[in-house]
Structure 1
Amino acid sequence: MGRVIYWMNTSIDGYIEDSRGGMDFMDPGEDFRQAANDHVRRTAAFLFGRRLYEAMEKPWTQELGKEGAPALEREFARFYRETPRYVFSDTLQTVPEGLTIVRRKDAVSAVTRLKQEIDGTLQLGGPELAASLLDLIDEFWVYAFPVIIGGGKPYLPVGEELRLRLVEHRSFASGIVFRRYVRP
């Protein structure tokens, strides 16, 4: 049975994007890149909201996997391309090979089915998609970068309170702090 892990990188004040929609405040060190590669190596499928898909797809399929890119980036790009990817969108009509479009209205039933069909980690990304699938998320992962940006797009949209239990935390030499939570 699959496990849904909602993983997003944030500022320490909980934002995944700054107020202009940028993510330039995230400066991953080699230690973070290695941890990301270790996780993605074991990922069975990616579940993306449309905007996160658009931010990830071109860089990791076209640019960062090329010769001349740092070895850890090429490795991540290879894992990314080899992993089945599902994009949840009502506006996209076509996607490249390796991707499957799922209509947003079908998100709950599709992820419920994927959890039953796929053994391993289903890595969920995108705060609006995560909010719509909250009851199906098994773990919440936060990599907090050492910067305060004061506003922008939050890790999860404002909504109901959700109590969690911290089961793992780790500090990186680059100043990034990882926290992994599960439901109590």
Structure 2
Amino acid sequence: MGLLTFGLNVTLDGCIDHTQGIADDELHDYWRERMEQSGAMLFGRNTYELMEGAWPAVARDENAPRAMREWAQKLEAKVKYVVSNSRSDFPWQNTVRVEGELREAISALKAKTEQGVLVGAPKLAASLEEWGLIDEYRIVVHPIISGHGPTLFQGLSSPRQLELLSTQRFKSGAQALHFRRKAG
């Protein structure tokens, strides 16, 4: 069974705002490596639509910065699962709609994806965390105080204990944190 890993960029105050971050080559390379290590990607509809609206064009743009283009090409080739109640048509290459009861469907996806699944959708991750389905966390904290926007895991019913496995500092000052759920 593969691990379900939640990965996202956040500001120092925990805000999720994709416009507030340092999207340099080093960060794109970091996320490309995380994606290459996983067997599939998992998105909620909103996050998927943000990705679908931007990355396919970058994958084909020969003038795009190297790291962005490599990320986009790897994302395009990767199997992408999408959770959506309102959309069933996903024309982006290698995209599959998650069917059935969510908790069971994600458990089955983990079981069949030996290399694991990387989820990059904050609202979806909150539901998955509530059910105890997330195994690891890859959070990149940017040295920015946003002061607005949603934060990670709002409304979680109880605290979760995590074990820090590693850290990585980027030239930009961003810090990548790798956590695993503590046993028990």
Q: TM-score, normalised by structure 1?
A: 0.90
How many Å separate the matches in 2 of 1:62 and 1:36? 18
Which residue in 1 is equivalent to 2:161?
163
Aligned residues with identical type, % of pairs: 29
Contact 2:28 2:67 in 1 (8 A): yes
Which residue in 1 is equivalent to 2:144?
147
Contact 1:127 1:157 in 2 (8 A): no
- Does 2:96 align with 1:100? yes
How many Å separate the matches in 1 of 2:10 and 2:139? 7
1:64 to partner: Cα distance: 4.7
Contact 1:43 1:83 in 2 (8 A): no
Contact 2:25 2:68 in 1 (8 A): no
One-letter code aligned to 2:98 = V
Q: Over residues 121-153 of structure 1, what are the superposed CA-to-partner deviations in whole Å (9 max), with x where a residue is unaligned?
A: 200121221111111111011101110011211
Relative to its length, the structure with more strand (as a share) is 1
1:86 to partner: Cα distance: 0.7
After TM superposition, where is structure 1 displaced by more than 4 Å over at least 4 residues in a row?
none
How many Å separate the matches in 2 of 1:163 and 1:148? 25
Which residue in 2 is equivalent to 1:121?
116
One-letter code aligned to 2:16 = I
Structure 2 unpaired stretches of 5+: none
Structure 1 unpaired stretches of 5+: 18-22
How many Å separate the matches in 2 of 1:55 and 1:125? 11
How many Å separate the matches in 2 of 1:108 and 1:36? 26
